[in-house]
Amino acid sequence: MDLKILNTFKTIVDEGSFSKAAKRLSYTQSTITFHIGQLEKDLHVKLFEKVGRRMVLTKAGEELVPYVEEVIQSVNKMNNFQTDLTECTGDLRIGAPESLLCFYLPYRLKAFHARAPHVHLLLQSMNSGNTLAALKNDDIDIGLFYATPDYGPGLGVARKNLGSFPLSFYASPRVKQKYNDFITGDQHYPLLSAIVQPPKGSLRRMFDAYMEKKNISLGNCIELRSTQTIKNLAINDVGICFLPQFVVQEELERGELEELETDRSFPPIEGFFGYRENKWMSPAMKLICEVLEENSSSRG
Q: Using the predicted structure, report yes or no on whether residue 74 has a pLDDT greater than 50.
A: yes
Assess whether 20 and 103 both reside in one domain. Answer: no
Nearest-angstrom CA–CA distance, 8 and 157: 53
In a domain, 245, yes or no: yes
In a domain, 20, yes or no: yes
Assess whether 258 and 131 both reside in one domain. Answer: no
Nearest-angstrom CA–CA distance, 104 and 134: 20
> Residue 299: its pLDDT value, please?
46
Confidence label for 152 from pLDDT (cuts 50, 70 and 90): low
Q: Which of 17, 48, 79 is the last residue of a domain?
A: 79
Helix and strand tally (H, E) in the chain? Answer: 13, 14
Assess whether 66 and 52 both reside in one domain. Answer: yes
- The string of DSSP codes covering 132-178 is HHHHHTTS-SEEEEE--TT--TTSSEEEEEEEEE-EEEEE-HHHHHH
List, for residues 204-230, the tens digit of each pLDDT value: 989 999 999 999 999 999 999 899 999
List the CATH number of the domain containing 119. Answer: 3.40.190.10
Q: Using the predicted structure, report yes or no on whether residue 181 has a pLDDT greater than 80.
A: yes
Assess whether 178 and 148 both reside in one domain. Answer: no
The pTM of the whole model exceeds 0.85: no
Assess whether 262 and 275 both reside in one domain. Answer: no
Residue 197: which domain range?
167-267
Instruction: Identify which has the larger pLDDT, 74 or 78.
Output: 74
Please tell me the total count of domains within the chain: 3
List the CATH number of the domain containing 18. Answer: 1.10.10.10
Assess whether 188 and 255 both reside in one domain. Answer: yes
Q: Using the predicted structure, report yes or no on whether residue 36 has a pLDDT greater than 70.
A: yes
Q: Which of 79, 113, 138 is the last residue of a domain?
A: 79
Instruction: Identify which has the larger pLDDT, 15 or 87.
Output: 15
> Residue 54: its pLDDT value, please?
85
In a domain, 86, yes or no: no
